[in-house]
Amino acid sequence: MLSYVMYKVILISGVAGVGKTTLLRKIGACVDTLTQIVDLDDYKALMRNIDFNIDGEKPSEIFYQHGIGATPPFEQNDEKYAQIQKFVLEPVIKSAILRKSLACVVAGGMIPGRFDMLKFPDVSVRQVLLINSDREQHRRHFIERQKKRPMKKDWEHLFNIVTAEQDFYIDCAKKSGVQIINNDEKSLDVILNILRN
């Protein structure tokens, strides 16, 4: 199991179908129980079911909207990302600190470099962008996953949108200095090294 230097938060960004959930499972198998593993999609589904609020304020409907099918420009999602920070990231970090957890890894469709983590000066926050540089592999994984959903759509069209969204994420990551990692056999080691150091 890993040992940590200080409390750490790792935010793994990535578009649909790049393998965020699979990577989270691999990370979970390598860390101890004092490391929280949070899949943003699962967390939002839980929040909807328990009528979640902070100081009486509930997330707006835009918070729950699935990103796939959105049209460019993707940067217009500022309200959604502000709510992800308020209703997911900040409570998760606060609860983890109270529980004396050692680290937290959160994965989801988050624009790289979009979050203000200065509210937690004693926490080491790292954001990475997970991509799949193999477009055909990404396409197969994306369409296979989407076909399991109840609504049938034009998956090829949606994948083209996701590809454009990934290009936007890459541009944001480069501008904000967020590390970009390809989802391959080395991606797990990259995340575990961030946790160790």
Domain extents for the chain? 8-196
What proportion of the chain, given as a percentage, has pLDDT over 90? 29
What is the arithmetic mean of pLDDT over 49-54? 84
Write down the CATH number for the domain with range 8-196.
3.40.50.300
What is the arithmetic mean of pLDDT over 9-33? 91
CB 165 within 8 A of CB 49: no
Distance CA 150, CA 153 (A): 10
Q: What is the pLDDT of residue 4?
A: 43
Q: What is the pLDDT of residue 5?
A: 42
**Which residues lie across from 54 on neighbouring strands?**
57
What is the arithmetic mean of pLDDT over 56-61? 86
**Dihedral sign, CA of 135, 40, 125, 7?**
negative
> pLDDT band at 152, cuts 50/70/90?
low
Mean model confidence pLDDT for the chain: 83
Using alpha carbons, select from 25, 183, 197, 17 the residue that is nearest to residue 103. Answer: 197
Contacts for 182 with CB less than 8 Å, ≥ 6 apart:
130, 131, 132, 133
Q: What is the pLDDT of residue 67?
A: 57
**Which residues lie across from 180 on neighbouring strands?**
129
The pTM for the full model equals 0.85
- Count of other CB atoms within 10 angstroms of residue 38: 20
- Lowest-confidence pick of 21-25, 50-54, 150-154, 161-165: 150-154
Distance CA 127, CA 45 (A): 23
What proportion of the chain, given as a percentage, has pLDDT over 70? 87
What is the arithmetic mean of pLDDT over 85-114? 83
